Amino acid sequence: MSDIFTYNTMLVLLGTSLLGAASGLIGSLAVLRRQSLAGDAFSHAALPGLCLAFMVVGERNLAALLLGAFISGILGLVVVSLLRRYTRIKQDAALGIVLSTFFGMGVVLSRIIQNQTIKGSKAGLDSYILGKTAGIIASDVYLIGSAALLCLIVIVFLFKELELLTFDADFARSQGWPVARLDLILIILLGLVVVIGLPAVGVVMMAALLILPGVTARFWTDRLAAMLPVSVGFGVITGAVGTWLSAEYANLPAGPIIVLIGAGLFLFSSVFAPRRGLIARWRRANIIDTSLLDLDTPVFEA
Amino acid sequence: MNMIAFWTILVGILAGVSCSLVGCYLVLRKMSLLGDAISHAVLPGIALGFLLSGKISGPAIVMGAMVMGLLTAYLTQALSKAVKVPEDASLGVVFTTLFALGVVLISVKARNVDLDPGCVLYGLIEFTPFDTTSVFRWEIPQAALTLGATTLFVLVAIILCWKELKLASFDPELSTSLGYPASLLHYFLMALTAGVTVAAFEAVGSILVVAMLIVPAATAQLLTDRLRTMLLVASLLATASAILGYWGGERWNTSVAGMMAVSAGGLFFIALMLAPKYGLVAKLVKQLGLTFRILREDVLGTLYRNQERHGIGLSGADLLPGQLTMVRWMTLKSLVRRQLVNSDQGTVSLTKAGQDRALQLVRAHRLWETYLQQNVALPADHLHAPAEKMEHYVGPVLLDSIAEDLHQPAQDPHGREIPAQHSATNSGR
């Protein structure tokens, strides 16, 4: 087993764990804000910007690519919210329209790039769609680490505001809090994590990584201050165990395995979590039923 | 046009029409994302079907995909019901997990098969004309046959269950109470979605499936309020997207499926701008119309009051203070065109018709002030602002009943005369 943990594997492991942490942190806020699918839409909508940046800068300049992806992702989500506000298009259809049209545009552009450039250099773009976890290098780890750190700093700094926003946005609005601006900050952080995670795990898996740790953590606690670290923990476990498994068994692709580990944790929590799990709910329901059937015992103590 | 182009476009059209017909119901039921989810989640079903049958198409694959599609719909609902996961989150969890499962299955068991996730995403519509089957004497592409049958099946299903599907889409509770269980129809719709997805998906990939499920239907929703028209318009839009997409794909030598999705998006954008009732331009025009009506009425009111007090017209430059010169000019121009005011060397005065209209407005304004004072007990200096707004909206019937209610008052709270209904008795001042 020791030969598995080479320098490269350690880097990949570190990278995916940090990515898990960052997406656990920001994803749990997105889940609470009923924005779970924003990550999905963002990661699809980022593709055309990525390709355009590629066409403009010509070679693989990471900063430019990420900026392009980020801008078009944000643009996609802005279109979603404009459609929802000013037309009769509902949220779900708006997400679907943006997601498919932007992604279609990305596919069109990436094929054009593929025709123009010499074979091989296009592999860089393809990995953004399907993800190439094994390709994580030291600079990627720094990048993911700084994104995670930035999310952490912003969330700690705005904790009180975000707590109110996620649990009662209407109250926050009525108290004069800048709800729209806070939502925008959240979306920007989300976009940052998505853009940085895309090359590692790909479009669909990135969406999963943003949702799973958050919803899983929600089973275990009702307090945001507890939920965030729990979610980060789940994110780290998901990323690390998934990477380790796929390194152990050579033909298992890392992205999907990471998602399946996350799904396993989710399933376990949904069944066994104390109060919110299936068993707890089922027992609670039964307790009420039997006491109601037993007419001799008063349901409420005097 | 050569045969290859013909078959490619036909496959695109059939895929688009079958998806967009089902998509109309998804969009109406606010479930479009379930279509997105199903089109991702059928992957493990396809993989399992392949593992069981050893072929990359055929009944085993279709069955596998159907089962996974229904499972997605069921699990999404079950999760949000049983353990109270928010619906969007539970959708996200289910489809990404199933997709991941599919990718793992394929990469572990079916590595050497032409079933890589890339092909799943973009499809290979460019190659469909070459995979042919002979029917009688003709060589017909397999995909065209499959999709033709699917489109026909969807059409028949919609016609047969027309009433039930319509009811369940617009009013699920009523549908259930009338004995057509909405949940049964829900799963019927989900099965249809999974069916068109798997039929279309081999040819055009999941991107185009999602685009065709949602975009033409949403575009049609901007253009019509009737289900029958919506289905027709969505099919036409899907057809147009397929043709445009093929043309664009050839023109720029790029992915035809991607280009079809982009064309559908482009058509959506055009409809969004230009739709007669729900388009943004129409909305803007309507809003501008209202703004200018209010400006015109403000000018009429001002002129009336000025005439009442000083007996003369006003200089055009004194009207609408605070508005841009351009806006003032346009308002006056349209008043003159409607023959409501005369503009003579910069002095503006009311015509007979303008006098009539202004009188109605001032009457509305002063009656409303009186009404507010008597019924809401607002202080006198707070009466003007709300009345200034209401005068533009109170119709003659409401006005008469307010006057009746207040016993036809002669004066408003500021001591000014409330003009009578008709100007014939009141023109001298």
Model confidence at A235, pLDDT cuts 50, 70, 90, reads very high
pLDDT tens digits, residue range B172-227? Answer: 888 888 887 878 888 888 888 888 888 887 777 777 888 999 999 999 999 999 99
Which one of A43, A55, A107, A126 makes the best mutation probe of the B interface by having the most chain B beta carbons within 10 Å? A107
Is A257 in CB contact (< 8 Å) with chain B? yes
- pLDDT recorded at residue B428: 37
**Looking at per-residue confidence, does A70 or B304 come out higher?**
A70
**pLDDT of A55:** 85
Tell me the one-letter amino acid at B7: W
Residues of B in contact with A204 (CB under 8 A): 40, 96, 99-100
pLDDT at A260 over 70: yes
| Chain A residue with the nearest C-alpha to that of B109 | A251
Report the pLDDT value the prediction gives residue B153, as an integer from 0 to 100: 92
pLDDT at A297: 59
Which residue type sits at B314? Answer: L
User: Is a pLDDT exceeding 90 seen at residue B265?
Assistant: yes
Q: A169: buried, middle or exposed (CB in 10 Å: 19+, 13-18, 0-12)?
A: middle
If you average pLDDT over residues A105-110, what whole number do you get? 88
Q: Is B429 a residue whose pLDDT tops 50?
A: no
Mean pLDDT of B268-297: 90
Could you tell me which of B159, B151, B149, B153 has the C-alpha nearest to residue B227?
A: B159
- Six-digit token string for B149: 């049958």
Q: Which of A59-73, A79-93, B127-141 has the lowest mean pLDDT?
A: B127-141
Confidence of residue B421 (pLDDT cuts 50, 70, 90): low
pLDDT value at position B115?
A: 54
Whole-number pLDDT of residue B424: 43
Is A260 close to B255, i.e. CB distance below 8 A? Answer: no
pTM: 0.83
Which residue has better confidence, B313 or B253?
B253
Q: In chain B, what percentage of residues exceed pLDDT 70?
A: 92
**Percent of chain A residues topping a pLDDT of 90:** 40
Tell me the pLDDT tens digit for each residue of A10-37.
888 899 999 999 999 999 999 998 888 8
Q: Does B108 touch chain A (CB under 8 A)?
A: yes
Cβ within 8 Å, pair A93-B99 = no
Could you count the other beta carbons within 10 Å of the beta carbon of residue A167?
Answer: 14
Answer with the residue of higher pLDDT: A152 or B35.
A152
* B328 within 8 A of B334, measured Cβ to Cβ: no
Q: With a CB-CB cutoff of 8 Å, which residues 133-152 of chain A face chain B?
A: none
Where would I find the H helices in chain A? 7-32, 38-57, 62-86, 91-116, 123-130, 138-157, 159-167, 169-174, 179-201, 203-218, 224-248, 254-272, 278-293
Q: What is the DSSP string of B92-129?
A: HHHHHHHHHHHHHHHHHH-TTSS--HHHHHH--GGGGG
Evaluate if residue B356 carries a pLDDT over 90: no
Q: What pLDDT score was predicted for residue A42? A: 92
- Is B88 part of the contact surface with chain A (CB cutoff 8 Å)? yes
The pair of three-digit structure tokens given for residue B146, joined into one six-digit string: 């499959």
CA distance A288 to chain B (A): 17
Flag whether residue A87 sits within 8 Å of chain B, measured between CB atoms. yes
Q: What confidence tier does A120 reach under pLDDT thresholds 50, 70, 90?
A: very low
What average pLDDT does the segment A48-61 reach? 82
Return the pLDDT at B122: 65
What's the pLDDT score for residue B393? 84
Query: How many other CB atoms sit within 10 Å of the CB of residue B358?
Result: 25
Of B265, B211, B204, nearest to B20 by C-alpha is B211
Q: Tell me the mean pLDDT in the region A115-120.
A: 63
Instruction: Please give the average per-residue pLDDT across A260-269, as a whole number.
Output: 94
Name the residue with higher pLDDT: B154 or A249: B154
pLDDT (mean) for B301-316: 79
- Do B214 and A96 lie within an 8 Å CB cutoff? yes
A95 touches chain B (CB under 8 A): yes
Selected residue of B72, B93, B116 to mutate for chain A interface (largest A Cβ count, 10 A): B93
Gap between the Cα atoms of B234 and A244, Å rounded: 48
Q: Is B360 on the interface with A (CB under 8 A)?
A: no
Residues of B in contact with A88 (CB under 8 A): 221-222, 278
Q: How many CB atoms lie within 10 A of CB B244?
A: 18
What is the predicted ipTM?
Answer: 0.87
Q: Assess whether pLDDT exceeds 50 at residue A283.
A: yes
* pLDDT tier for residue A302 given thresholds of 50, 70 and 90: very low
Q: Considering chain A, what is the average pLDDT of its residues?
A: 85
Amino acid A97: pLDDT: 94
Tokens of A32: 């609470």
Which residue is associated with the tokens 């009769």? A88
- Tell me whether residues B83 and A259 touch, CB distance under 8 A: no
**What's the confidence (pLDDT) of residue B425?**
41
B123 touches chain A (CB under 8 A): no
Tell which B residues from 228 to 267 touch A, by Cβ distance under 8 Å.
248-249, 252-255, 257-262, 264-265
Asked if residues A108 and B263 have their Cβ atoms less than 8 Å apart, the reply is no
User: Does residue B40 sit at the A interface (CB-CB below 8 Å)?
Assistant: yes
Task: Give per-residue pLDDT as tens, B389-405.
Answer: 888 888 778 888 888 88
What does the alpha-carbon distance between residue B316 and residue A133 come to, in Å, rounded to a whole number? 72
Q: Give every CB contact of residue A162 below 8 A, 6+ residues apart in sequence.
A: A29, A155, A182, A186, A224
For chain A positions 37-66, those within 8 Å of chain B (CB to CB) are 37, 39-40
Tokens of B326: 């351009």
Q: Which residue in B has a C-alpha nearest to residue A216's C-alpha?
A: B85
**In Å, how far are B73, B83, B91, B129, B364 from B79, measured between CA atoms?**
10, 6, 9, 42, 57
For chain B, say whether A256 makes contact (Cβ under 8 Å): yes
A1 has a pLDDT exceeding 50: no
pLDDT exceeds cutoff 90 at B156? yes
How close A278 comes to chain B (CA, Å)? 6
Strand partners, B417: B411
